Amino acid sequence: MVTPTPLMDLVTGFWSFKTFAAAVELDLFSKLAGGRTLTVADAERELGLPERPADLLFTACASLGLLERAGEGYRNSPLAEEFLVRGRPYYFGGQVSYCDQRTYLPWHRVGEALRADKPLTWDPASQESMFTTADPALLGTFWEAMHSTSIFTARALGEAVDLGACRRLLDVGGGSGAYPIELCGRFPALTATVLDLPHVCELAAGKIAAAGLTDRITTAPGDFLRDTALPGGHDVLLLSMILHDWDAATNRKLLVKAYAALPAGGLVIISELLLDADRTGPAPAALMGMNMLVETEGGRNYSDAEYAEWLAGAGFADIRTVRFDAPGANGVVLGRKP
């Protein structure tokens, strides 16, 4: 029997997110690290919360799979213990904070974006792109969000695609360096270069140093859209969560640059939330496309069939798709330069 219950789930989806975001803001999951248990009575001392809101928050977090009951109190679920404790390798709180602070309120005006076909989180009339801002704190939040999403996605990619025969990777628009950090840790013979804007390379250099990989990962300040060519000397080129930011024409041009930068036999990897060819889902890719409406001028999510067509047009061969499950991508499209 068809019921409106799924519609109610859609209507109240923001309840789940804002409950989750509030718990991250309170750093609740870090306070419960290592199996620690917290009761509602403890919440005023530990979190500054009176009994009623603490009870409501703990109950809601348990219902979402973030906490679990332990006697009279609550402790982290395995999901929260792994990904929501600050300092853990795959800490995901940066993504939660970014969406809460940067995109949540603009999404309230998504109807405006649909009618005007203009981003809501920045003003193209006064900013060069969404990646520049006068607010260093907001910019830092953005890159922490990207790192949160990328680091585990890179692990999933490394498990799905064997890069053991590759020697030098170019991460185009590599941001904080999450992909090279994770992939170089997995493949001992691999070295890497992060290509991004100068101020982003400074951030990446700090992450790389913290990971103890300065001898294997370098940065190359540049603008992959404006520069006439991409740096050479690499046998694998990665475009991770990059192409969804731009329109089809821009992406085709970038793939031509990628082809020119690679040697014969070189590998290109496109890592994205891929749409199905019939454009009916999956939901994470389709909804990321809606987020591109809110955050970019021409971005959208594409299917692996579209990427394959563009790769073939740029000259790549042996094109294939490899699927996996991760927050930033559900697969990669691979192509080789003949």
The proportion of the chain whose per-residue pLDDT surpasses 70, expressed as a percent, equals 98
Could you read off the pLDDT of 106-158 as tens digits, one per residue? 999 999 999 999 999 988 888 877 666 656 777 777 888 889 899 999 999 99
Cis peptide before 327 (omega within 30 of 0): no
Domains of the chain: 5-83 (1.10.10.10), 149-336 (3.40.50.150)
Could you read off the pLDDT of 201-241 as tens digits, one per residue? 999 999 999 999 999 999 999 999 999 999 999 999 999 99
Q: What is the pTM of this model?
A: 0.94
The pLDDT of 165-188, averaged and rounded, is: 97
122 with 133: CB under 8 angstroms?
yes
Distance (Å) of CA 126 to CA 55, 133, 134, 140, 237: 45, 10, 11, 20, 32
Q: pLDDT at position 298, please? A: 95
- Answer yes or no: is pLDDT of 86 > 70: yes
Q: Picking from 61-70, 76-85, 127-136, which range would have the lowest pLDDT averaged per residue?
A: 127-136
Among 108, 147, 234, 244, the active-site one is 244
The pLDDT of 9-22, averaged and rounded, is: 97
On the CB side of 299, CA atoms within 13 Å amount to: 24
Give the 3-state secondary structure of residue 282. coil
Alpha-helix runs per DSSP H in the chain: 5-11, 13-25, 28-31, 43-47, 51-63, 78-83, 93-98, 104-107, 110-116, 136-160, 178-186, 198-210, 248-261, 283-295, 304-314
Concerning whether 244 is annotated as a catalytic residue, the answer is: yes
